[in-house]
Amino acid sequence: MFGFNANQTFYVEISINKQQMLVYKNKVLFKTYLISTAKNGVGEQYGSECTPRGIHQIRAKIGTNQPENTVFFRRRPNGEVYTPAYAQTQPQNRDWIITRILWLSGLEPDKNRFGSVDTARRKIYIHGTPDEKLLGKPGSRGCIRMGNRDIMEFFDFIPVRTIVDIQ
């Protein structure tokens, strides 16, 4: 039912075990990125801070033409730009969402769509992070974190509605 669609150029697989994103173009591996998924592991429940599994699509792309390290709050640039010095003035546990956002939406009813398991309602994103040294191991609050240069590159070529399979 899901998976690569003949009408789609791109298809994305997120490997929780390998902490990698595999991007296929015309059914051929095109790019591989190091990522970070949830520190709490996998799960779909609202409030769990886990990365949801299953078939998703990119619902929206947010941050076009924003400078690298732009800080987002409620999916909008808030005028801040992340720097290590600026971070020292912020709460220690702040979850930085920076540079670009790709908002995910689940496609599997009662698994990652609708009710208390709805990925879009949980605000699960693929986004940039200042903690690039932590990529390759779980550390997020449910989202998929990428390096800032990587998210900028990915954002520029990946279309909205691309299928993202989180396994």
DSSP string, 24-86: EETTEEEEEEEEE-BTT-B--STTS--BPPEEEEEEEEE-TTPPTTEEEETTEEEEEE--HHH
pLDDT at 3: 56
Domain 10-166: state its class: mainly beta
The closest alpha carbon to 104, from 87, 88, 91, 123, belongs to: 123
Residues 11-39: pLDDT tens digits?
999 999 999 999 999 999 999 999 999 99
Place of tokens 């039912």: 1
Residue 162 has pLDDT above 80, yes or no: yes
pLDDT at 1: 43
Report helix, strand or coil for 155.
helix
pLDDT at 2: 53
- What rounded mean pLDDT belongs to the chain? 94
Beta bridge partners of 58: 104
Q: What is the pTM of this model?
A: 0.92
Residue 7 has pLDDT above 80, yes or no: no
pLDDT at 5: 58
Buried residues in 21-59 as b, exposed as e (16+ CB within 10 A): bbbbeeeeeebebbbbbbeeebebeeebbbbbbbbbbbb
pLDDT at 92: 83
Residue 6 has pLDDT above 90, yes or no: no
pLDDT at 131: 86
Q: Is 17 exposed, middle or buried (0-12, 13-18, 19+ CB in 10 A)?
A: exposed
Domain boundaries, the chain: 10-166
Residues 65-123: pLDDT tens digits?
999 999 999 999 999 999 999 999 988 888 899 999 999 999 999 999 999 999 999 99
